Amino acid sequence: MYYDFFAGGSEDQHTLRENTEAFQRITLRPRILVDVSKIDMSTTILGYKTSAPIMIAPTSMHKLAHPEGEILTAKAAAACNVIMGLSFTSTCTIEEVASSCNAVRFFQLYMYKKREISALMVKRAEINGFKAILLTVDTPKLGRREADLKNKMIAPQLKNFEGLLSTEVDDSEGSNLEAFSSRSLDSSFSWKSITKLPILIKGVLTREDAIKAVEIGVEGIIVSNHGARQLDYVPATINALEEVVLAVQGRIPVLFDGGIRRGTDVIKALALGAQAVMIGRPIVYGLAAKGEYGVKRVIEMLKDELELAGCPTLNDITRNHVRMQD
């Protein structure tokens, strides 16, 4: 049941397959006789130094993968010097993760019908040293994840919401996660209700929304289709990336989320204009297999493969390094 929760997508899972298969239709155009005796893939994201353009995406409920959950994920991020995104629906509290290590952390936010709950979560994140808000905007309602419905997926009580909100709901028709989300998520949330807090908008797939995000003054955009867990038959994120990058025209950073499985995938996303990529499912699988060590190995493997690009720095990875299939 929990594997299906992490691995599955929505409805026919067409976009889930496309998120990874679309990368296979992009070929690399490497340059030869480049001096790569010294390679430095470090960068800065919102001013924070990181060892590579790789971030941990905010994914839900890590204790379903390992008993110590997000605490171990955060420790791995700190050990690898990469930024961690903590999910709004994490199974460890904001305070537990913050006190576990010195990783640079961003906090993911959903807008709930009870706006005071979302506001409180932002306040707690700020007090506990989180550096940015990842406002997820592609979930007015939870996507139809049929494996979770079939399995009658049971979500655990979330400690972040103790005394504020219960996840105990009537789930006789399917997963209690879907029932909880239907009751809690604010489907009226729109561009007009975004606050002026320093935020990155997560869930942008089109030129129009990218331009709108720039106009309202957000600090960054994350091109994402929610791991293909929301609306099926939307584009693979790698196919939407360049449209967003061209619309933004360098005015704010564009990050990428969805389908990264290899260092070559990271190269392709960077060549198409992403400043950094987020890693979701592979992190969870590493956590399930080997705990903190497993998460570190996932990050290290991607970093090692990234160095095979034949580029001494990230600035050397350009649009000329990839060819899109006609």
- The DSSP line for 236-279 is PHHHHHHHHHHHHTTSS-EEEES---SHHHHHHHHHTT-SEEEE
* pLDDT > 80? residue 1: yes
User: Cβ atoms within 10 A of the Cβ of 49, count?
Assistant: 11
What pLDDT is recorded for position 192?
A: 46
Which residue among the candidates 14, 62, 66, 226 is catalytic per the annotation? 226
Contact 80, 22 (CB under 8 A): no
The residue with tokens 């260092």 is 263
How high is the pLDDT of residue 141?
64
Q: Is the dihedral of CA 198, 204, 210, 213 positive or negative?
A: negative
Element (H, E) at 202: strand 199-204
Residue 168 in contact with residue 190, Cβ under 8 Å? no
pTM: 0.88
Report phi then psi at 276, rounded to 5.
-160, 165
Are residues 299 and 80 in contact, defined by beta-carbon separation less than 8 angstroms? yes
Q: How many CA atoms lie within 13 A of 94 on its CB side?
A: 21
Give catalytic status of residue 226 as yes or no.
yes
pLDDT digits (tens, 9 = 90+) for 14-56: 999 999 999 999 999 999 999 999 999 999 999 999 999 999 9
Mean pLDDT of 78-106: 97
